[in-house]
Amino acid sequence: MALKPYACGTMAQPFIDCAIKLKAKIDNLENIDKIIASVGEGTVHRLWEPLEEKQNPSTPYGAKFSVPYCISIGLINGSAGLNEFTDKCLKNLEVIKLASKVNYEINPNDEYPRNYTGKIKIIMKDGTIYFSSQECLRGGKRDPLSTNEVRKKFEDNLKFANVKSAEIEKLYNFIKNIFKSKNLNSLDEVNFN
C-alpha cells in the first residue's frame, strides 16, 4: 500500500522524483543534450516502447505511462499532478521537445518488480553530467509522504476539480476530525455491519 505522490503510473514516479531533484541544478533546459534513464527490462514494454509515442504521447492517459514525458514535466514544472496530464500540457512544445531527448538503457541489476526505483543521467551540451536516483517508490513504507505532501495533493486535486478554497478547507477539517466526532481513533474501530 502506498500513497502516490503523482498522477501517473507507479513505476514512472521514481523517475519524476529524480527529475525534480535535478531541476534546480539546470538553469537552462535548452542546454540539455540528452537524458538517459536506467531501467528494469520488465518496464520497457509499458513505459518506454514504442519510444516515439512515449516521447510524444497522443493522449493524457498515455502520458501517465510515459517516462520520457514524466521526466520532462518533472524538470519543467517541478510537479506531476492532474494539471500535467491534460490535453493542454500535451500540446506544450517545451515539454515534448525535452521528452524527445529522453531515452533508456537496461540495467540488469534493477530490482523491478520487487522495488520501483529511478535513476537518470542528464548530459549537458558542454559535457557536464548530472545524476539522480530514487531508491524506492515515495509514498510507501520505506519513504512515506509527509502530512504536508498529502494535504497539498488533496488540495491540488480538489482545485483541479474547481472546488473553491473555502470548500476545500471545510472538507479537510471534516476528514481530519471524522474519527474524533465518533470518539474513534482509526478505521479499525468503525463497525461497518
Instruction: Give residue-wise pLDDT tens across range 16-36.
Output: 999 999 999 999 999 999 999
Instruction: Output the pTM of the full model.
Output: 0.90
Where does the pLDDT of residue 190 fall: very low under 50, low under 70, confident under 90, or very high at 90 and above?
Answer: very low
pLDDT, mean over the chain: 93
List, in sequence order, every residue forming a beta bridge with 104; answer none if it has no partner.
37
Strands 102-106 and 32-39: parallel
Determine the Cα–Cα distance for residues 155 and 72; give it in Å rounded to an integer.
Answer: 24
Find out whether 112 and 123 touch, Cβ atoms under 8 Å.
Answer: no
pLDDT at 181 (0 to 100): 59
Domains of the chain: 10-134 (3.30.1330.120), 147-189 (no CATH)
Identify residue 1 by its one-letter amino acid code: M
The predicted pLDDT at position 2 comes to 86
The string of pLDDT tens digits covering residues 70-89 is: 999 999 999 999 999 999 99
Name which residue leads in pLDDT, 8 or 173.
Answer: 8
